[in-house]
């Protein structure tokens, strides 16, 4: 059974989401503050985190950064903050999605289902060229012999590139494969942010892997 940590201080909304997830046979734990979320995360690492931004003792962004430094767990932000800069910040922190309130419970459940299927469907595939090693099944990446922490989205990007080496992956194809869950805010900028961050992690002057086919998409050239 998938374990979900819900971090939401609005009691009514918290219980409504818990009820809906329970009907879908998910195991759900509720936290109403950052402090509570850290304690519950430390007790048991969840499979997915639903995270509000405005919490009584700080911002959900802070918790997301804290958590990502320890382990990569998929995050969906659930928040009333709909400014573009907040949405982009959520993606920059490695979130799978950014859902603004009010939202459709059916769409939220679909998003969760898609993410869970992706998490369960990582293929046992290894790419290793002597400099870069990608182990999709173990969710481990190393470059130049050093561990290279990546976000879940970055790992899925690597998976798509490695499995389609030499083939053009258009913007639309990548967006559909990464975030096609009835999403609200999905565009090429969010994709570019993840691509550029991934390049900084795995590439150097002598090792190039991702080629930008201008106006069309990206191609794995490793």
Pair 167, 173: CB distance under 8 Å: no
Strand 126-128 and strand 132-135: the pairing is: antiparallel
> Which segment of 9-13, 65-69, 194-198 scores lowest on mean pLDDT?
65-69
Instruction: Look up the CATH number of domain 3-120.
Output: 3.40.50.2300
| The pLDDT of residue 185 | 46
> Which segment of 56-70, 112-126, 166-180 scores lowest on mean pLDDT?
112-126
Strand 48-51 and strand 75-79: the pairing is: parallel
| Residue among 187, 128, 71 at smallest CA distance from 178 | 187
> Which segment of 98-107, 149-158, 200-209 scores lowest on mean pLDDT?
149-158
DSSP 147-175: E----HHHHHHHHHHHHTTTSEEEHHHHH
- Name the average pLDDT for the chain: 88
Residue range(s) in the chain whose domain bears CATH number 1.10.10.10: 150-220
Pair 26, 17: CB distance under 8 Å: no
**Tens of pLDDT along 124-142?**
468 888 999 998 877 889 9
**Tens of pLDDT along 51-99?**
999 999 999 999 999 888 777 789 999 999 999 999 999 999 989 999 9
Residue range(s) in the chain whose domain bears CATH number 3.40.50.2300: 3-120
What is the fold, at CATH topology level, of the domain defined by 150-220? Answer: Arc Repressor Mutant, subunit A (1.10.10)
State percent of the chain over pLDDT 90: 56
Angle at 138 between CA 154 and CA 107, to 5 degrees: 50
**Tens of pLDDT along 50-62?**
999 999 999 999 9
Axis crossing angle, helix 188-202 with helix 171-179, rounded to the nearest 10: 90
| Dihedrals phi, psi of 35, to nearest 5 degrees | -60, -45
| Dihedrals phi, psi of 70, to nearest 5 degrees | -105, -45
Pair 41, 50: CB distance under 8 Å: no
């Amino acid at each position: 059974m998938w374990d979900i940590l819900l971090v939401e201080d609005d009691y009514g909304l918290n219980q409504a989401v818990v009820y809906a997830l329970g009907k879908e046979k998910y195991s759900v734990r509720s936290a109403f503050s950052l402090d509570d979320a850290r304690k519950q995360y430390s007790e048991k690492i969840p499979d997915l985190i639903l995270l509000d931004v405005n919490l009584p003792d700080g911002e959900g962004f802070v918790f997301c950064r804290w958590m990502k430094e320890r382990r990569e767990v998929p995050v969906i932000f659930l928040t009333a903050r709909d400014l573009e800069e907040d949405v982009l910040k959520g993606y920059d922190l490695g979130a799978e999605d950014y859902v603004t309130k009010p939202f459709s419970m059916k769409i939220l459940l679909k998003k969760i289902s898609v993410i869970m299927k992706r998490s369960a469907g990582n293929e046992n595939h290894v790419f290793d060229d002597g400099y870069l090693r990608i182990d999709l099944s173990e969710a481990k990446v190393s470059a130049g012999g050093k561990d290279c922490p990546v976000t879940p989205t970055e790992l899925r990007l690597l998976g798509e590139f490695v499995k389609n080496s030499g083939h053009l992956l258009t913007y639309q194809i990548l967006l559909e494969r990464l975030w096609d869950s009835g999403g609200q805010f999905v565009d090429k900028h969010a994709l570019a942010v993840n691509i550029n961050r991934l390049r900084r992690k795995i590439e150097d002057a002598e090792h190039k892997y991702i080629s930008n086919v201008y106006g069309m998409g990206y191609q794995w050239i490793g």
